[in-house]
Amino acid sequence: MSGLRFLAAALVFLFHAGIAQVFSAPPLRYGFLFVGGSAGFVGVSFFFVLSGFVLTWSARPGDGTAGFWRRRFVKIFPNHVVTFAVALVLIGWAGQSGGLWQGVTNLLLLHAWIPQYSFMVSVNAVSWSLSVEALFYLAFPLLFLVVGRIRPSRLWWWAGATVVGVLLAPPAVQALLPDQPQWSWGPASFAQIWSVYAFPPVRLLEFALGMLLARIVLTGRWIRLPLPAAVLLVLAGYAASLFAPFLYRFAACTVIPLALLIPAAAAADVQGRRTVLSTRVMVWLGEISYAFYLVHGLVLAYGHRAFGPPTDAFSSGPAWSTPVGLGFLLACLAVSVLLAWALHVLVERPAMRRWAGRSAAPAPAPDGGSRVPPQGVAGHRAGNLPEGGGASGA
């Protein structure tokens, strides 16, 4: 599972690398942008579903709401504050203007609630997803009680209804909101894009789906889908998203494959099956994935700008030949990994040790049964699916 977290974070990196437009040759410049056009959407959706899954899986017995909120705050906020401060310095260096209220709402993780582009991507642009996750964490104690009362025999029905909600969000937004003026991202207005992509209550459906899937596995209702088959389904969903109507690319095209991938990966972990995702390197990359998520956009955007002015209104810097462009992106990837490791070691881990409180044993299943799921998902250990570490802090 840890290795899968970093692959999802790498998808977000791929998306932002395409937006940077570092290649001068038009076929590669626009081909790279097209192929990676849904990568960030898939990566973010993965972490929203994963958040609900992991938090439900690792819920602690006797832990009150205040204790849960404290651990989530300590996990998310220190890294956010550090990268927020670094981003302000870089904004000043580049001669940009961020706006006072944009900065205040970003720091307080309220900016995803405001339907204006300048707020959503203010300061460190990727932090909008943390604003969404903040709602998840506030709602989790209540949702955990609700999900825990669902009969195991009805969990798949509830999961299916939640998926339907995700699928209905794009057509509902198209019916309720005007599609003019068209936004530069695609054939939709920004109000429509924001409502499907960033509005926290809409993305809460993916978080709730993750919670339901965790209970499905814990109560022995998982269908034993092999991990390779789940990966193929995600690839098929991703390919479909490249050609789907724009508003459906954010979550609708891939929510079902992702909903199957996460339990399949969890089942492989708790059964002790060795995969390339469970190697030491991939586990380490998964541990630093949240820090990587926060730093990579700054490295790409301002690293690119350091080499010269943008070639057009959509790029972040100059365009180069294919070898130079590839070299730049690989260098950005390496620098992002190194900075993420430093942020994880110097900020994230010390904050968790100092303020998160003692670790507790895994909680019983929400239905009062054993946390070791039947039907072959055995050998569960508390360390297999840690509570923290996703690219959105999941």
For residue range 88-138, list pLDDT tens digits in order: 999 999 888 778 899 999 999 999 999 999 999 999 999 999 999 999 999
Helix/strand/coil percentages in the chain, nearest 5: 65, 0, 30
Helices (H), 246-288: 255-270, 280-287
Answer whether residue 394 is part of any domain. no
3-state secondary structure of 79: helix
Answer whether residue 22 is part of any domain. yes
Two tokens, residue 142: 């209540």
Give how many domains the chain has, as a whole number: 1
The single-letter code of the amino acid at 373 is: P
Q: What torsion do the CA atoms of 182, 185, 188, 194 make, to the nearest 10 degrees?
A: -110
Asked if 290 and 300 count as a contact pair (C-beta separation under 8 A), the reply is no
- Name the residue with tokens 């996460």: 262
For residue range 170-197, list pLDDT tens digits in order: 999 999 999 889 887 778 999 999 999 9
For residue range 322-338, list pLDDT tens digits in order: 999 999 999 999 999 99
Q: Taking residues 226-237, what's their average pLDDT?
A: 92
Answer whether residue 249 is part of any domain. yes
Residue 389's pLDDT band, with cuts at 50, 70 and 90, is: very low
Who wins on pLDDT, 215 or 62?
Answer: 215
H or E stretch including 253?
A: none
3-state secondary structure of 187: strand
Answer whether residue 390 is part of any domain. no
Q: What is the 3-state secondary structure (H, E, C) of 285-316?
A: HHHCHHHHHHHHHHHHHHHHHCCCCCCCCCCC
- Name the residue with tokens 């310095």: 89
In sequence order, the β-bridge partners of residue 183 are: 186
Residue 51's pLDDT band, with cuts at 50, 70 and 90, is: very high
Answer whether residue 361 is part of any domain. no
Answer whether residue 248 is part of any domain. yes
Answer whether residue 194 is part of any domain. yes
- Treating both helix axes as pointing N-terminal to C-terminal, what angle do 190-197 and 155-176 enclose, rounded to 10 degrees? 170
Answer whether residue 350 is part of any domain. yes
320, exposed or middle or buried, with CB in 10 Å at 0-12, 13-18, 19+? middle
Check residue 34 and give its pLDDT.
79
Is the pLDDT at 366 greater than 80, yes or no?
no
Average pLDDT of the chain is 86
Is the pLDDT at 72 greater than 80, yes or no?
yes
How far is residue 188's CA from residue 200's CA, in Å, rounded to a whole number? Answer: 19
Is the pLDDT at 58 greater than 70, yes or no?
yes
Is the pLDDT at 377 greater than 50, yes or no?
no
Asked if 133 and 158 count as a contact pair (C-beta separation under 8 A), the reply is no
Check residue 273 and give its pLDDT.
67
For residue range 335-362, list pLDDT tens digits in order: 999 999 999 999 999 998 888 765 433 3
Is the pLDDT at 10 greater than 80, yes or no?
yes
Is the pLDDT at 32 greater than 90, yes or no?
no
Check residue 359 and give its pLDDT.
46
- Please provide residue 81's backbone torsions phi and psi, each rounded to the nearest 5 degrees: -65, -40
Name which of 39-53, 264-278, 294-308 the model is least confident about.
264-278
Share of residues in the chain with pLDDT > 70 (%): 88
Longest Cα pair distance anywhere in the chain, in angstroms? 60
What is the number of other CB atoms lying within 10 angstroms of the CB of residue 180? 10
Check residue 211 and give its pLDDT.
96
Check residue 380 and give its pLDDT.
37
How far is residue 344's CA from residue 292's CA, in Å, rounded to a whole number? Answer: 9
**Where in the sequence is the domain holding 301, given as residue range(s)?**
1-60+68-355
